[in-house]
Structure 1
Amino acid sequence: MKTLPHDHGQTFEHMPDQIPNPEDFQIVADLFKQMSDQSRIRIFWLLCHCEECVINISSLVEMSSPAVSHHLKQLKITGLIVSRREGKEVYYKAADTVQAQLLHRMIEQVIQISCPSSSPSHKEGK
Structure 2
Amino acid sequence: MYARDNVAGASERQQPTPGDGEVEAAVQMLRMLADGTRLRLMWLLSAGEHDVGSLVTAVGAARPAVSQHLGKLRLAGLVSVRRDGRRVLYRARDGHVRRLVAETLHAASHRVTGTPEHD
TM-score, with length taken from structure 2: 0.72
Give 1:111 deviation, angstroms: 2.9
Give 1:107 deviation, angstroms: 2.6
In 2, the alpha carbon distance for the partners of 1:36 and 1:108 equals 11
Q: 2:91 aligns with which of 88, 93, 104?
A: 93
Q: What SS does structure 1 have at the residue aligned with 2:25?
A: helix
Alpha carbon RMSD of aligned pairs, Å?
A: 2.3
The equivalences for 1:65-80 within 5 A come to: 65-80=63-78
Q: Does 1:102 align with 2:93?
A: no
Give 1:27 deviation, angstroms: 0.7
Larger Rg: 1
Give 1:48 deviation, angstroms: 0.8
- Listed as ranges, the gaps of 5+ residues in structure 1 are 1-7, 9-17, 114-124
In 2, the alpha carbon distance for the partners of 1:58 and 1:70 equals 12
Moved over 4 A (4+): none
Give 1:105 deviation, angstroms: 2.5
- Tell whether the 8 Å contact from 2:32 to 2:73 is kept in structure 1 after alignment: yes
Which residue in the other structure is 1:84 paired with? 82
Amino acid at match of 1:71: H
Query: Which one has a larger percent helix, Structure 1 or Structure 2?
Result: 2
Give 1:19 deviation, angstroms: 3.0
Higher-RCO chain (CA-CA 8 Å, sequence separation at least 6): 2
Q: 1:63 aligns with which of 61, 64, 77?
A: 61
In 2, the alpha carbon distance for the partners of 1:20 and 1:49 equals 29
Q: 2:32 aligns with which of 31, 34, 39?
A: 34
Give 1:87 deviation, angstroms: 1.3
In 1, the alpha carbon distance for the partners of 2:60 and 2:79 equals 20
